[in-house]
Amino acid sequence: MEAFSPLTATIGGVLIGLASAVLWLGNGRLAGISGIFGQLLPPAQTVIWRLVFLAALIAATFLASRLFPDLGVGGTEPAQLVAPPAGWSIPTPVWVAIAGLLTGIGTKIGNGCTSGHGVCGLARLSRRSLVAVLVFFGVAIITVTITGIV
CA distance 57 to 37: 12
How many angstroms separate the most distant Cα atoms in the chain?
49
Distances (CA, A) of 122 to 5, 22, 127: 24, 17, 8
Q: Residue 93 half-sphere exposure, CB side, CA atoms within 13 Å?
A: 0
How confident is the prediction for the chain on average, in pLDDT? 83
pTM summary value: 0.67
- Measured at the CA of 52, the angle between CA 57 and CA 112, to 5 degrees, comes to 65
Residue 87: what pLDDT? Answer: 83
Residue 32 neighbours by CB under 8 Å, 6+ apart: 112, 113, 115, 116, 117, 120
1 pLDDT more than 60: no
Q: What is the tens place of the pLDDT at every residue in 9-31? A: 788 888 888 888 888 898 888 88
Closest by CA position to 102, among listed 41, 42, 73, 94:
94
- Going from N- to C-terminal start, the domains of the chain cover 1-80, 81-150
